């Protein structure tokens, strides 16, 4: 398998139902056919409506922002992977720094979610990344490596092949401060090497590694031109169709 170019838009807890439908329609209408896969990750409640729109384009896919690790049952307020699958979801964002920070998600739980997503035939977009004090202390590569090892390295090479990794330095998320192309490349190369050490060079070369953290039209081209940056996970700029489309067109 070859690694892919992916640009995923994480809408977080934004947009009413009508606004969400309009945003998805605008992205679908403006999306050029290309090898780049564009992914929309709206809030759960908009997934089935956005799913209709996503079907209009071959290179447009649907993601959930989270899922529950159990198959179903007495988990009030939660959403199962089978429910997601039944409305056309193909990717699930896991381990986003906001899930880690506000909902206490860490390696043991994330490993269960990763397993459940893969078992259902969906693809996790696994987020990792350090907070500012860790970057300032110079221990970011260790921290990110531990996040990846703890939640992913129990997988077989075959299962791991369906995992997308998103490196998202927490200090760059929603702050307007972007990692420099060199900082992104450095960490992406570390991640690819780590994967090579565990699964071999072929698997590592085929692993899609996205950068996330204040990606916008003005910086996407330079970030995406780095040899180990295979695309982006985009928050704020994914809420504006023109910006999101410009980012997708930045390869
Ligand atoms: C994100 O939430 O994954 C993200 C990268 O947000 P932003 O693009 O707004 O920094």
**Structural domain boundaries of the chain?**
6-248
Mean pLDDT of 176-195: 96
Ligand 1 atom nearest to CA at 238: 8
- Nearest of 169, 161, 248, 166 to residue 205 by alpha carbon: 161
Residue 174: what pLDDT? 87
Strand partners, 234: 9
Residue 245: what pLDDT? 98
Catalytic residue numbers?
Answer: 96, 168
Residue 189: is it exposed, middle or buried by C-beta count within 10 angstroms (0-12/13-18/19+)?
A: middle
Q: Which residues line ligand 1 (CB under 6 A)?
A: 10, 168, 173-174, 212-215, 233-237
Mean pLDDT of 36-59: 97
Cα distances (Å, whole numbers) of residue 164 to 5, 27, 210: 11, 22, 8
Class of domain 6-248: alpha beta
Q: Over the chain, what is the mean pLDDT?
A: 97
Q: How far is CA 145 from the centre of its chain?
A: 17
Q: How confident is the model at residue 177 (pLDDT cuts 50, 70, 90)?
A: confident
Q: How far is the CA of 127 from the centre of ligand 1 (A)?
A: 11
Q: Whose alpha carbon is nearest atom 8 of ligand 1?
A: 235
Residue 4: what pLDDT? 96
More confident residue, 210 or 177: 210
Q: How confident is the model at residue 141 (pLDDT cuts 50, 70, 90)?
A: very high
Q: How far is the CA of 239 from the centre of ligand 1 (A)?
A: 11
Q: How many CB atoms lie within 10 A of CB 97?
A: 21
Q: How far is the CA of 232 from the centre of ligand 1 (A)?
A: 9
């Amino acid at each position: 398998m070859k690694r892919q170019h992916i640009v995923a838009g994480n809408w977080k807890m934004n947009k009413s139902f009508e606004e969400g439908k309009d945003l998805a329609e605008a992205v679908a209408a403006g999306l050029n056919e290309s090898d780049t896969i564009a992914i929309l990750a709206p809030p759960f409640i908009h997934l089935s409506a956005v799913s209709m729109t996503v079907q209009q384009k071959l290179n447009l896919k649907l993601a959930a922002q989270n899922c529950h690790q159990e198959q179903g049952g007495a988990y009030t307020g939660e959403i199962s992977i089978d429910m997601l699958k039944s409305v056309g979801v193909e990717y699930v964002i896991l381990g986003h720094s906001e899930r880690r920070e506000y909902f206490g998600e860490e390696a043991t739980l994330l490993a269960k979610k990763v397993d459940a997503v893969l078992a259902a035939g969906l693809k996790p977009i696994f987020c990792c990344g350090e907070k500012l004090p860790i970057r300032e202390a110079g221990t970011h590569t260790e921290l990110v490596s531990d996040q990846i090892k703890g939640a992913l390295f129990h997988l077989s090479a075959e299962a791991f092949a369906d995992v997308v990794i998103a490196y998202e330095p927490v200090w760059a998320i929603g702050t307007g401060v972007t990692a420099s192309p060199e900082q992104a490349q450095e960490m992406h190369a570390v991640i690819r090497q780590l994967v090579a050490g565990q699964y071999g060079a072929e698997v590592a070369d085929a692993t899609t590694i996205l950068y996330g953290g204040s990606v916008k039209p003005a910086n996407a081209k330079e970030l995406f031109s780095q040899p180990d940056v295979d695309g982006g996970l985009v928050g704020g700029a994914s809420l504006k169709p023109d910006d999101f489309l410009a980012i997708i067109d930045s390869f």
